[in-house]
Structure formats: structure tokens, C-alpha cells
Structure 1
Amino acid sequence: MAVVLIVEDTLTEAEIIGLTLQKAGFETIRATSSEQAKMKLAQQKPDLILLDVVLPGESGFELCRELKGEPETQNIPVVMCSTKDSEMDKFWGMKQGAASYLIKPIVPDELVRTVQLLVRG
């Protein structure tokens, strides 16, 4: 079973994303900040990281750039997930190394399809 690390500070959003992915057959791990995500990544390497842009402390953009620069995490696909929906936000997310950029509120079918494509990659 593929494992997805969900980095999301809004509990309701994290719950919706988590349940959607679990129903599709994925195991999920959750973190509410970049710092907590780094601690989880030190313990377990997921098959994909779903990363909110707006987080307490370090932003999702910063964390994505950092993860893509580390040998242990550079090959884990990152999906940015945010209410920030301008073309510049999407461009910037992809420039940081994200494999995809989803807009909130999340469309469950789109989320599952994106994660399945990237995990099977």
C-alpha cells in the first residue's frame, strides 16, 4: 500500500484529504507544519507528499525546494495543494520542484487521479 504524507495545518482539510485517499487505498501520515513534516520524513519515507502552501513557519514552497535538494527526499513526488490559485502561484510551485499543483477546495476525483498517476509514475 502506497503511503502519502499530508502536510496540512487546517484539520478539516487534512481530514477530508486523508479520508479521500484512504478510501482510494492509500495509507496516510499527517503533519501540521514543515517542522513536523521533517520529523515524520526522518522516520518514514512516503511514496508521495501532499503539501499545503500556507503553513506555520516555513511555507510549503520553501519545504518543497528543501526536499528536492536533499538526496533522501528528492525523488519523492510533491503535490502542492493551496487556495492560492493564480498562474504565478502554480508556476512558482512547479519551479520549486512540485510534480503537480491542486487548488482547494480539493476535488476528490482529481486528488485521487493525481496521486495514483504520480505514485505509479
Structure 2
Amino acid sequence: MKKLLIVEDDKNWADILGKFAADVGAEHQVAVSGGQAIEIIDDWQPDALILDMLLAGETAIALLNELRSYADLASLPIVVCTNIDVKMDDLRPLGVKTILNKTSMRPNEARAIFREVLNDGAE
């Protein structure tokens, strides 16, 4: 079973994203901070990451930079899920595959993107 780490500090959004992960047959865990995400990644080794841009007290950019600093995590597929205006051109160098806009995404769109990133690099 594929593993998806959801980094989201809003419980309602974490639950919604977790439901989408379950819908595509993925096991998932939720981290509420970048530090907790790194711990889970080290122990659990997810196949992909869904990342909120605005976490309590920090932003996702610090986590993205940290992930890129580790050779074994540099290719981890990442989807940013946010309601702030961010540009893919700014995030692509940090390993982001796509952006899901919380204000306009549809469930089927999210599920399709989850499937795609979970199969990214599949043998």
C-alpha cells in the first residue's frame, strides 16, 4: 500500500485530505508541523507528501528546503495544498509537482493528483 504524508495543521483540512488519500487506497499519516513531518518521514518513509503552505508558526518553504538537502528525499513527490496565491515557477525548484488550491479544488481533482504523485517514480 502506498503511503501519503499530509502536513496540515488544520484538523478539518487534514481530515478531508485523509479521506481523499483513503479513497485512492493510500495509507496516510498527518503531521502538524515541519519538525513532526521530518520525524514521520524518517520513521515511516512515505511515497509522497501533501503540504499546506501556512503551518502554525512556520511556512512550508523551510520544510521544502530541508527536504531538498537530503539526497534520499530530494525526489519525494510533493503537492502543495493552500489557499494563498503561490506560483508554480517559484515552487518547482523546491520539488513541488503541483499546487492544489483549497478554495477551488474539487474532490475528483484532488484524488487524481494524489493517484498521480503516489505513482510518480513507481517501478
In the superposition, the TM-score normalised over structure 1's length comes to 0.89
Change (3 A) 1:118 1:66: same
Give the match for residue 102 of structure 1. 100
Give the match for residue 46 of structure 2. 46
CA distance in 2, matches of 1:99, 1:18: 19
**Any gaps of 5 or more consecutive residues in structure 1?**
none
In the superposition, the TM-score normalised over structure 2's length comes to 0.88
- Say if 2:121 is the partner of 1:111: no
Contact 1:65/1:96 (8 A) holds in 2: yes
Letter in 2 for 1:96: L
Letter in 2 for 1:120: N
Contact 1:7/1:32 (8 A) holds in 2: yes
Aligned residues: 119
Letter in 2 for 1:23: D
RMSD: 1.5
Contact 1:4/1:46 (8 A) holds in 2: yes
**Any gaps of 5 or more consecutive residues in structure 2?**
none
State the shift of 1:57 in Å.
3.3
The percent of aligned pairs where both chains have the same amino acid is: 29
Contact 1:83/1:103 (8 A) holds in 2: yes
